[in-house]
Amino acid sequence: MIRRAALACLLAAPVSAGTLEGRLVTFTVETWDSREAPLLVARGRTVTVDQGVEFGLDREGFTGGLDVVPVNVEIGPTRIELSYPKGIGRFFESRFNGYVLRFETECALFEKVAIDPEASSMEVTEVWAETGALYINVSGLGYGPDSTLALDLEVADCPLS
């Protein structure tokens, strides 16, 4: 009887959602028309997700006529926010020009990704996940100090690597 009651309690308990906090993540900037022949793959940076801004990228110097646009990336437990502290301009147009966040995990980390229109001034339309990676395409969009992008995520309860 006690086992049956314990099992009933476990089944009735809500499933806990996952979090990005404490996860190891590598952030890169990529530009390509074909993944097999990238035009730019910026130097990746790896951190553990914690409080505050995880990445504050600045220009790296031109590679094939392209350079990184300065961007700040803050990652919360279930949210990612991007802002552009310096400069104004338009992202180079290609099939993909944007950001890749690769989280250390073997499972499909993202169950749902949604752009928060209330907190986003950029009209990003292409964001997708592949296993533990999140791709954000900003190709051809304008950016500046007032530009923001906020993504709300439903994170799977994957074990930390």
Determine the pLDDT at residue 11.
38
Give the confidence band of 161 by pLDDT, cuts at 50, 70, 90.
Answer: low
Give pTM, 2 decimals. 0.84
Q: Token digits for 33?
A: 């028309």
CA distance 45 to 25: 8
- Would you call 80 exposed, middle or buried from its count of C-beta atoms within 10 A (0-12, 13-18, 19+)? buried
155-159 average pLDDT score: 89
Who's near 94: CB < 8 A, 6+ residues apart?
Answer: 31, 32, 33, 39, 139
The token pair that represents 6 in the structure block: 């314990």
- Model pLDDT for residues 7-53, shown as the tens digit of each residue: 334 333 333 469 999 999 999 999 999 999 999 888 889 999 998 89
Is pLDDT at 130 greater than 70 in this prediction?
yes
pLDDT, one tens digit per residue, over 64-115 is: 778 788 899 999 999 999 999 988 999 999 999 999 999 998 889 999 999 9
Strand partners, 41: 30
Distance CA 77, CA 113 (A): 13
What is the predicted pLDDT for the residue at 43? Answer: 85
Where are any strands of DSSP class E within 21-141? 24-32, 40-41, 45-48, 53-57, 71-75, 79-83, 89-90, 96-103, 110-115, 126-130, 133-137
Q: What angle do CA 47, 83, 128 make, to 5 degrees?
A: 70
Question: Can you give the pLDDT at residue 134?
Answer: 96
Q: Poorest-confidence range of 6-10, 28-32, 58-62, 127-131?
A: 6-10
Check whether 2 has a pLDDT greater than 50. Answer: no
pLDDT surpasses 60 at 63: yes
Distance CA 3, CA 1 (A): 5
